[in-house]
Chains A and B, each alone.
Chain A
Amino acid sequence: MYAQMVKSTGEGVKSRDEMSPEEAAFQDRIDQDIKIEPKDWMPEGYRKTLIRQIGQHAHSEIVGQLPEGNWITRAPTLERKAILLAKVQDEAGHGLYLYCAAETLGVSRDELTEDLLSGRMKYSSIFNYPTLNWADMGAVGWLVDGAAIMNQVPLQRTSFGPYSRAMIRICKEESFHQRQGYDIMMKMAQGTEAQKKMAQDALNRTWYPALMMFGPSDKDSVHSAQSLAWKIKIDTNDELRQRFVDQTVPQAEYLGLTIPDENLKWNDEKGGYDFSQPDWEEFFDVVRGNGPCNVDRLAARNKAWDDGAWVRDGLLAHAEKRAARKTAAE
């Protein structure tokens, strides 16, 4: 999931008796699947939780450009380069759709950006892992975008109108991302022994961080319970992770690659695979800022923001000057 462990009110879901008339009417609309729009009345907790979730999601799209941007200049062919460039450009676009959805809730773009740059707001833990070679571009597209799609498809039905519309647009575009990744994996897996080894190595390194994207089990989390009641979240983390594993295992088999999990086994009873959990200690450590690339990622975003300041100021000054000249001429 691109938004992990988003805190809600922390107070648990209110019963009908505890709700004010406004809150009850609001919950009725959600239960009837009527979309909430920016100017509608909404509980403060709903607004804040959404800003956190959409903001974290947007930041993930933006920071997510870095591990792949790293390989644009080193793509093996001109066609692969053009495709990767288009994919990374899409990620920028997805970040922008999401920022614009968050802004309808009364937070400004610059506030969100500053919260990312200062580390107050998080982005998905997955982007704190390095991309070491070209096979990683395959594994990232296949598994990371695959996990993102698994999370984003149900979010198209989320209760907040602008978020839902952004998700619909993103899902339409995201499928290209996963397919281009799988296409790279197919090429490598059917290539020389060395290429096949690289593909397997990329899968080995990406598998558990991809499983972490859904976040730790949240079946007992008060935050998640509230988000589910508000339909900001549609499925639990475990449900999404299970769906991802079930879908991905046959895809790995087709490639002739092995999922790095000795406990992976089909379970007839539940109609899904049993699998090992990722190392959650590692996950929390990465979230705390100690992953292999946390420092680099934030430094890159800060540098881009600082280096771009004169462009933002210059263009605005130019626009103001032109507007003033036009007013004077009238």
Chain B
Amino acid sequence: MSKEWPLWEIFIRGQHGLSHRHVGSLHAPDAEMAIKNARDVYTRRNEGQSIWVVEAKHISASNPSDKGPMYEPSESKVYRHPTFFDIPEDVGAM
């Protein structure tokens, strides 16, 4: 049996200057073909200005079961949000 083509994760930057966003994956023999295939699979309706492809095996991910301790530090720091501070209206726009 033939070997399967490697899996690539596809990231597309849309029209409005936003960051590249993960849209899905596909199989391709190499990066060049992955970009060509990504054009056909993920930008048939003009969704993209730029395509990134990364072989899936090169992506490391956080473990979902660590979610609690991983993000706890940010939960207790409400002062990071501007609304934490009461500024008198007389001060004007800030």
List A residues at the B interface (Cβ < 8 Å). 37, 39-41, 86, 89-90, 93, 96-97, 100, 103, 108-110, 165-166, 169, 173, 309, 312-313, 315-316, 318-319, 322-323
Contact = CB atoms under 8 A, between A and B. Distances in A.
A309 B2 contact: yes
Interface in B1-36: 1-5, 7, 24-27, 29-30, 33
A316 B61 contact: no
A100 B24 contact: yes
B44 interface: yes
Contacts, number: 55
B46 interface: no
Interface of B: 1-5, 7, 24-27, 29-30, 33, 40-41, 44-45, 61, 63-65
A79 B3 CA distance: 40
Interface centre among B1, B5, B7, B24 (most CB of A within 10 A): B24
Contacts of A313: 2-3
Nearest to B65: A41
Contacts of A90: 44
Contact of A110 (B4, B29, B41): B4
Contacts of A97: 24, 41
Contacts of A322: 30
A39 B24 contact: no
Interface centre among B1, B27, B33, B45 (most CB of A within 10 A): B27
Contact of B7 (A39, A40, A103, A312): A103
